[in-house]
C-alpha cells in the first residue's frame, strides 16, 4: 500500500482517449467525425441543387465527348514499360542498307537489307537459305573451313574481303556488295 503513490497509475490507466495525447480532453478524433457528418446532412439540402445542376452539365459533356479519344494514363501501363517494348516496332528513321549479293555459278543476283540482321550468324544463315549452300566453320585464323563456298564482300576501297573479319557495325557501313565465291577460285 505504501507503493501506490509511486506506481504512476496514470501511465497504466486504460482510457478511451489515445494514450499519446497528454491532455484530458476525451473528445478524441472520432467525435469530430460525427460532427462532420451531421453538418453534411444538414447542408445536403442546399448542396443538392448545386450538385444536380453540375451533373446535368456533365451529362451533356459526356455525351458529346468523342468515343475513343486518346486518354492519358490508359491503359495503366508505366511509360518505362511502354518505352522498353516500343523499339521492337518499325524504326522509320534509318533507311535500309540494300546491297547486291551474287554467287558464283548462279545467273541472277539477289538484294538484301543488311539492317535487318543483328550480326553475322543471322546474315550467314539467310545467305545459306537463299542460295542453298553451307559456308562452313569460320575461324579468325583460317577463314571458312569445310566448305566449297566462301562469303566475301567488296568494301569502300574496292578490295574483296572475307566476311566476318571486322566488327559487325563496321561491316554494314563499309560493305558495298557481297559475293559468295566458289572455293576452287581462291
Partner 1 sequence: MAEEDGDHQPLRGSDPPDQVLDTVLETVLQFLTCRQDRNSASLVCQSWHRAEALTRSELFIGNCYAVSPARATARFPRVESIYIKGRPRFADFNLMPRNWGAHFRPWVSAMSRAYPWLEKVYLKRMSLTNDDLALLADSFRQFKELELVFCEGFGTKGLSEIASKCRQLRVLDLSDTEVIDDAMDWISSFPEGETPLESLTFDCVECEINFEALEGLVARSPSLKKLRLNRYVSIRQLYQLLIKAPQLTHLGTGSFSQSENIQHLDDNQDLDYHSAFAACKSLVCLSGFKEVMPEYLPSIYPVCANLTSLNFSYTNINPQQFRSVIVHCHKLQNLWLLDTVCDEGLQAVAASCKDLRELRVFPVHPDEDIEGPVSEVGLQAISEGCRKLQSILYFCQRMTNEAVIAMSRNCPDLVVFRLCIMGRHQPDHVTRKPMDEGFGAIVKNCRKLTRLAVSGLLTDKAFSYIGQYGKLVRTLSVAFAGDSDMGLRYVLEGCPRLQKLEIRDSPFGDEALWAGAHRYYNMRFLWMSSCRVSRLGCQEIARSMPHLVVELLRYEEEDAPFVEEDNNNFSVLYMYRSLEQTRNDAPESVTIL
Nearer to partner 1, 115 or 176 (CB): 115
Is residue 54 a contact point for partner 1 (CB under 8 A)?
A: yes
**Helix/strand/coil for 179:** strand
Residue in 164, 175, 178, 180 binding partner 1, rule: CB under 8 A: 164
E-strand stretches of 20-159: 98-103, 110-113, 137-139, 143-145, 149-154
For the bound state, the minimum distance from the C-beta of residue 116 to partner 1, rounded and expressed in Å, comes to 13
Residue 97's Cβ-count burial label (10 Å; 0-12, 13-18, 19+) is middle
Is residue 113 a contact point for partner 1 (CB under 8 A)?
A: no
Residue 57's Cβ-count burial label (10 Å; 0-12, 13-18, 19+) is exposed
Is residue 118 a contact point for partner 1 (CB under 8 A)?
A: yes
For the bound state, the minimum distance from the C-beta of residue 180 to partner 1, rounded and expressed in Å, comes to 15
Query: How many CA atoms does the CB half-sphere of 31 hold within 13 Å?
Result: 7
For the bound state, the minimum distance from the C-beta of residue 84 to partner 1, rounded and expressed in Å, comes to 5
Residue in 25, 42, 50, 105 binding partner 1, rule: CB under 8 A: 50
**What is the Cα–Cα distance from 180 to 153, expressed in whole angstroms?**
8
Residue in 23, 25, 45, 72 binding partner 1, rule: CB under 8 A: 72
Angle at 41 (CA atoms; ends 36, 42), nearest 5 degrees: 100
Q: Which three cell numbers stand for residue 80?
A: 518505362
Is residue 184 a contact point for partner 1 (CB under 8 A)?
A: no
Is residue 111 a contact point for partner 1 (CB under 8 A)?
A: no
**Contact residues for partner 1, defined by CB under 8 A:** 2-3, 6-8, 10-15, 18-20, 29, 32-37, 39-40, 43-44, 47-48, 50-51, 54-55, 57-58, 61-62, 65, 68-82, 84-85, 88, 118-121, 138-140, 163-165, 167-169
Amino acid at each position: 500500500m505504501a507503493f501506490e503513490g509511486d506506481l504512476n497509475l496514470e501511465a497504466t490507466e486504460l482510457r478511451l482517449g489515445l494514450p499519446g495525447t497528454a491532455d484530458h480532453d476525451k473528445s478524441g478524433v472520432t467525435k469530430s467525425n460525427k460532427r462532420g457528418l451531421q453538418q453534411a446532412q444538414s447542408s445536403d439540402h442546399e448542396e443538392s441543387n448545386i450538385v444536380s445542376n453540375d451533373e446535368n452539365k456533365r451529362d451533356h459533356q459526356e455525351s458529346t465527348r468523342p468515343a475513343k479519344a486518346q486518354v492519358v494514363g490508359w491503359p495503366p501501363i508505366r511509360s518505362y514499360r511502354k518505352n522498353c517494348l516500343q523499339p521492337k516496332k518499325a524504326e522509320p528513321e534509318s533507311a535500309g542498307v540494300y546491297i547486291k549479293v551474287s554467287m558464283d555459278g548462279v545467273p541472277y543476283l539477289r538484294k538484301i537489307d543488311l539492317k535487318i540482321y543483328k550480326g553475322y550468324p543471322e546474315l550467314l544463315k539467310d545467305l545459306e537459305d537463299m542460295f542453298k549452300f553451307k559456308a562452313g566453320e569460320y575461324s579468325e585464323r583460317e577463314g571458312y573451313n569445310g566448305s566449297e563456298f566462301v562469303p566475301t564482300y567488296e568494301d569502300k576501297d574496292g578490295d574483296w574481303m572475307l566476311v566476318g573479319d571486322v566488327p559487325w557495325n563496321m561491316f554494314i557501313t563499309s560493305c558495298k556488295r557481297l559475293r559468295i565465291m566458289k572455293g576452287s577460285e581462291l
